[in-house]
C-alpha cells in the first residue's frame, strides 16, 4: 500500500520542516539566532583579548622587576667590595649595549631598557617600558619600575611611574597599580 502525500504536510512552521517520507521534523536555527550567537561570541572574544594583553603585560613587568632585583644584588656586591656606591657605573650593573648585557636603550630583543641614577648614598635602578624600538608588541603606554637602595643601611624602596605620577615608596612590588 502506498501512502499519498498530502500537500498540507509541507507547511513550514518556525524552521521545522516535516519530511513527507519519514514523517519526522527537521530542526534548524533561524538566521536571527545565528546572528545573536555570533555577536555574543564576538563580544566575549573582544573582552578575552583585552584581558589577555593585560595579563601578558603584567608578565613582562614581572620580568623587569626580577631583573631589577638582580641589579640590587650587584649594587650590594659592589658596595661590599668598594665600601661606597658613589663610583658605580652601568657596566658594574651589567647594563650596556652589548648583546650579553641588560639593554641601556630600546632594542628589538627586549621589552624594557634599564639605567641607574645616583642620589647621594642611594642608587636608583630603573626599568622603562619601550614604546618604540623595543621587542614587539610595543606598549601603548610608557611606565617605569624603580628600586632605590642604600646598601649601607640595607633599605629598599619600590616605586612605579605612569602618566606623570610616581607611586610609592612601597616596601614591595604588589602595591604597584600596573
Q: Kindly indicate the confidence band of residue 25, based on its pLDDT and cuts at 50, 70 and 90.
A: low
pLDDT at 159 over 70: yes
CB 90 within 8 A of CB 115: yes
pLDDT digits (tens, 9 = 90+) for 105-150: 998 889 999 999 998 889 999 999 988 888 887 777 788 999 999 9
pLDDT: which is higher, 168 or 65:
65
Instruction: Give the pLDDT score at 88.
Output: 92
pLDDT: which is higher, 9 or 73:
73
CB within 8 Å of 113: residues ≥ 6 apart:
102, 103, 104, 105, 106, 107, 127, 128, 130, 134
74-83: average pLDDT: 93
| Residue 72 neighbours by CB distance under 10 Å | 17
CA separation for the pair 153, 159 (Å, rounded): 18
CA separation for the pair 110, 166 (Å, rounded): 23
Q: What angle do CA 58, 63, 64 make, to 5 degrees?
A: 95
4-20: average pLDDT: 55
pLDDT at 66 over 60: yes
Instruction: Give the pLDDT score at 133.
Output: 83
72-87: average pLDDT: 93
* Nearest CA among 99, 96, 107, 59 for reference residue 74: 96
CB 147 within 8 A of CB 124: yes
Amino acid at each position: 500500500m502506498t501512502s499519498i502525500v498530502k500537500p498540507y504536510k509541507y507547511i513550514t512552521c518556525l524552521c521545522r520542516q516535516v519530511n513527507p517520507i519519514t514523517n519526522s521534523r527537521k530542526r534548524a536555527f533561524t538566521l536571527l539566532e545565528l546572528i545573536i550567537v555570533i555577536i555574543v561570541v564576538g563580544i566575549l572574544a573582544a573582552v578575552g583579548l583585552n584581558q589577555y594583553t593585560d595579563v601578558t603585560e603584567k608578565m613582562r613587568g614581572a620580568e623587569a622587576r626580577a631583573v631589577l632585583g638582580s641589579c640590587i644584588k650587584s649594587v650590594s656586591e659592589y658596595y661590599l667590595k668598594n665600601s661606597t656606591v658613589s663610583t658605580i657605573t652601568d657596566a658594574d650593573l651589567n647594563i650596556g649595549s652589548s648583546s650579553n648585557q641588560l639593554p641601556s636603550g630600546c632594542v628589538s630583543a627586549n621589552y624594557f631598557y634599564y639605567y641607574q641614577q645616583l642620589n647621594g648614598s642611594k642608587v636608583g635602578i630603573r626599568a622603562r617600558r619601550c614604546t618604540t624600538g623595543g621587542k614587539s608588541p610595543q606598549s601603548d603606554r610608557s611606565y617605569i619600575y624603580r628600586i632605590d637602595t642604600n646598601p649601607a643601611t640595607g633599605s629598599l624602596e619600590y616605586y612605579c611611574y605612569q602618566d606623570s605620577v610616581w607611586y610609592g615608596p612601597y616596601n614591595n612590588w604588589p602595591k604597584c597599580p600596573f
